[in-house]
Chain A
Amino acid sequence: MPNKNFFETNFSNAINNALEIAMKNDKNVICYGLGVTDPKGVFGTTTGLEKKFGKHRVFDVPTSENALTGIGIGASLNNLRCVMTHQRVDFFLLAMDQLVNNASKWYYMYGGKKSVPITIRLIVGRGWGQGPTHSQNLQSWFAHIPGLKVVMPSNPYDAKGMLLSSIYDPNPVIFLENRWLHYTKASIPKKKYFVPINKAKIVKKGKDITIVSMSYLTPEAIIASKYLEKLKISSEVIDLRSIKPIDFLTIRKSIKKTKNLLVLDTGFKFCSVSSEIITSILEKNHKILKNPPNRLTMPDIPEPTSFGLTKHIYMTHLEIISKVLDILKINKKYLKKLKISKPKFHDVPNEGFKGPF
């Protein structure tokens, strides 16, 4: 029987629902960004909000990313809670000055007088030839800056709970949404709830290897771990959820048990979140692992546009399984046994997707 306290929804609706709850509960919450009131409502994440809360609190903006970030900072200094939205991370790069020189350090550099409770939603593009300037995963840039929090939810439940936590957090939070996750479905509570911004989640228990993942790689890791079970390999999948602060405790506890580590990262390899995780683990105890740690990331090249090129670099459960076998020194012939079929098109989130955005 369906539980009346839950509802069936997808990731973008979960975002919409969180925004609605926050705006209903607190008249200081405002929401703005390019396209938030247009007919597409930022992939449905802001649809209907203007009607419910009025055009003073929900509004479209000029193409002025840097100024509007500063404007959000200013408004938050007078206790508004701004949720700013960008259809691509790449567009937000214009605002690095306001983010890095102001938002991240305002609290610290004025001796803890006034913090900046701004939430910046950034959508990461993927597939359909998004190309070099519409698909960047720059979580490690943001995580590098002291004073910023960075989250990457991987499912509708966390999306809602973490957005609410972000909005009520007294600090600036970078909220990264992968475009493909917008379609993922789940049944989630109707009421207000919070998912903390410092706790990773063990999404599958296991004992042979720890797979740490983030964002859209978490569903892939779960699929991989199911296949691995067929080979009698028991993997523990940890969804980071929060990139900064990062929950080393949960990761370390898991590795103590499994003694093996694979980190999945949606970003470029060099100086990535995966670099940080592996370093920090080994720094504390270089004997914790039985086998060398390993990782899967995007290669250190700009993401090309061509369908014929991205097919070589898009990571799926297949690459994850193969990497796990590598780490555990298991013969690759077992991979063939699994008879994993690849989707016909690597560059779409589902069969219904016909481009272009």
Chain B
Amino acid sequence: MKLNLLKNIYREFFRIRTIEEDLAKNYNDQKMRCPVHLSSGQEAVAAVFSNIVKKRDFAVSTHRGHAHYLAKGGNLNKMIAEIYGKEDGCSSGKGGSMHLIDLDVNFMGSTAIVGNSMPIGVGLGLSLKIKKQKGLSFVFLGDGAVESGVFYEALNFAAVKKLPVIFICENNLYSVYSSLEVRQPKNRKIYKLAREIGIKSEHCDGMDSLKIYKCLKRTISETRRGKGPQFIEFSTYRWREHCGPNYDNDIGYRTLKEFEFWKKKDPLSKLKKLILKKSPGQKKSLINIELSIKKEVKESFQRAKNMNFPKKSSLFKDVYAK
């Protein structure tokens, strides 16, 4: 893979990681007064995706949607402001961390009810087809969403209509504190389930940027060529607690051993090593990338903290469109 591409992936990856970790760091100031679901540990898919997706493509996501919003090019300042409940937030402070949107880059919304953005993404796909518009619709989902009825219904419709939709399932083994064991049959392969519903599907290691790139590149270009919907299951792992800024390996729903096994796979440091092995001279350049991202993120937090809350009058605004 070209060095430049690797560096671009690294940049995006480092940026998402920094933002998520800074959210965790700042959360205890008690100024972000809404639930947050961080993607730390499982950002690789989003970082790679960001280097393949086109602006005209649509995307929707879930309660754990920061990484997807950012990867699609969503405005950082507006996301941080939204999480702080401020007036310049991407949803004007109405939606919080779980309801992100940036129409400038066709990030059409993340939603807080499990499974509930899947058909929205399929509907966006339908609109592309009916309007003969170029572009794809990306649907991000977790392993938990597979258990909801709408999973079947959304995939079924996408298959019947051969819609330009790509489902990206980030299987992190857990839904809140419930492991897959108590939720899905033992030998279930989510991607095979999708295949049986009628959607071309595959599985990919979600902790390996190169594998993710190959997989996404191929599937996306196929769907762009009109080959119909695709489904990819990525194996991944979240580091922090389900909701909130802390680690929760002490409460007993997963083992420290398991956590460390996955943490060791950290695809961000792996990617950095790969770049430096390929071209040791890049060290300075990577440091510069990191510094500028840290600065950007720091400023964004500062900006959000200093901003005003929405005006009282905005409470009653936007209940209906004019």
* Chain A residues within CB distance 8 Å of chain B: 34-35, 37-40, 59-67, 90-91, 93-94, 128-134, 299-302, 304-309, 312-313, 347, 354-357
Partner of B35, one of A63, A302, A355: A355
The one of B112, B312, B319 that contacts A312, using a Cβ cutoff of 8 Å: B312
CB distance from B6 to the nearest CB of A (A): 35
Which of these binds chain A: B91-99, B120-128, B291-299?
Answer: B91-99
Query: Quick one: given A131-B34, A132-B94, A133-B112, are A309 and B316 in contact (CB under 8 Å)?
Result: no
B205 within 8 A of A: no
Q: Find the A residue at minimum CB distance from B314.
A: A309
Q: How many residues of B contact A (CB 8 A)?
A: 51
Minimal beta-carbon separation of B151 from chain A (angstroms): 9
Given contacts A63-B144, A64-B147, A134-B112, A356 and B244 within 8 Å (CB-CB): yes
- Are B96 and A63 in contact, with the CB atoms below 8 A? no
* Contact between chains at A63 and B95 (CB < 8 Å): no
Q: How many A-B residue pairs have CB under 8 A?
A: 148
Instruction: Say whether B149 contacts A130, CB under 8 Å.
Output: no
A357 near B244 with CB under 8 A, answer yes
Partner of A63, one of B112, B148, B310, B316: B148
Report the separation of the CA atoms of residues A300 and B89 in the bound assembly, to the nearest whole angstrom.
Answer: 22
B182 at the interface (CB under 8 A from A): yes
The 3 closest A-B pairs by CB, nearest first: A308-B309, A129-B34, A306-B85
Give Cα distance in the complex from A59 to B312, angstroms.
44
Residue B130 is within 8 A (CB to CB) of chain A in the complex:
no
Q: Identify 18 new A-B residue pairs, CB closer than 8 A, beyond the known A131-B99, A309-B94, A309-B315.
A: A34-B176, A34-B178, A35-B177, A37-B182, A38-B253, A63-B145, A64-B147, A91-B114, A131-B34, A133-B98, A134-B98, A302-B319, A306-B93, A312-B315, A347-B33, A356-B27, A356-B35, A357-B35
B26 lies within 8 A of chain A by Cβ: no
On chain A, the residues within 8 Å of B60 by CB distance are none
Cβ of A58 to closest chain B Cβ, rounded Å: 12
In whole angstroms, how far apart are the Cα atoms of A68 and B315 in the complex? 36
Choice from A39, A130, A132, A304 contacting B315 with Cβ under 8 Å? A304
User: Which residues of chain B have C-beta atoms less than 8 A from A59's C-beta?
Assistant: 182
Residue picked from B86, B145, B147, B245, most chain A C-beta under 10 Å: B147
Given A301-B315, A309-B314, A60–B94 Cβ distance below 8 Å?
A: no
Knowing A38-B176, A40-B177, A356-B36, the reply to whether A302 touches B94 (Cβ < 8 A) is: yes
Are the C-beta atoms of B183 and A62 separated by less than 8 Å?
Answer: yes
> Chain A: interface secondary structure?
loop
A129-B34, A312-B312 known; A39-B147 Cβ under 8 A: no
Pick 27 A–B contacts, CB within 8 A, sort by A. A35-B177, A38-B176, A39-B253, A60-B183, A62-B144, A63-B115, A63-B144, A65-B148, A90-B112, A91-B113, A93-B113, A94-B115, A94-B148, A128-B35, A130-B34, A132-B95, A299-B316, A304-B310, A305-B85, A305-B94, A306-B89, A308-B310, A309-B309, A309-B314, A309-B315, A354-B30, A355-B244
Q: Do B94 and A306 have beta carbons less than 8 Å apart?
A: yes
Residues of A within 8 A of B319 (CB): 300-302
Take A61-B183, A302-B319 as given contacts and tell me if A39 and B96 are in contact as well, using a CB distance cutoff of 8 Å: no
Our pick among A34, A299, A304, A347 for the contact of B94 (Cβ within 8 Å) is A304
Q: Is the CB of B99 within 8 A of A305?
A: yes
Report how far A354 CA is from B244 CA in the complex, Å. Answer: 10
A312–B309 Cα gap in the complex (Å)?
A: 12
- Asked whether A357 lies within 8 Å of B178 as measured between CB atoms, the reply is no
CA distance A35 to B175 in the complex (A): 9
Given A60-B182, A90-B113, A357-B243, are A305 and B147 also a contact pair (CB < 8 Å)? Answer: no
Q: Is the CB of B183 within 8 A of A129?
A: no
Task: Tell me if B321 counts as interface (CB < 8 A to partner A).
Answer: no
- Chain A residues with CB under 8 A of B309: 306-309
Cβ proximity bits B6-34 to A, threshold 8 Å, 1 near / 0 not: 00000000000000000000011010011
**Any A CB within 8 A of the CB of B184:** yes
Chain B residue nearest in CB terms to A37: B182
Known: A133-B112, A306-B85. A301 touches B316 (CB 8 A): yes
Enumerate chain B residues within 8 angstroms of A129, measured Cβ to Cβ. Answer: 33-35, 85, 96-97
Q: Is the CB of A305 within 8 A of B95?
A: yes
- Tell me if B280 is interfacial: C-beta within 8 Å of chain A: no
B 62-120 contacts with A by CB, 8 A: 85-87, 89, 91, 93-99, 111-115
Does A356 contact B34, Cβ atoms closer than 8 Å? yes
How near does chain A come to B110, taking the closest CB pair, in angstroms? 11
Determine whether the beta carbon of B252 is less than 8 Å from that of A39: yes
Q: A39 → chain B, closest Cβ, in Å?
A: 4
Q: Is B251 an interface residue (CB 8 A)?
A: yes
Interface pair A63/B312, CB less than 8 Å apart: no
Q: Known interface pairs A63-B145, A64-B149, A91-B113. Does A307 touch B33 (Cβ–Cβ under 8 Å)?
A: yes
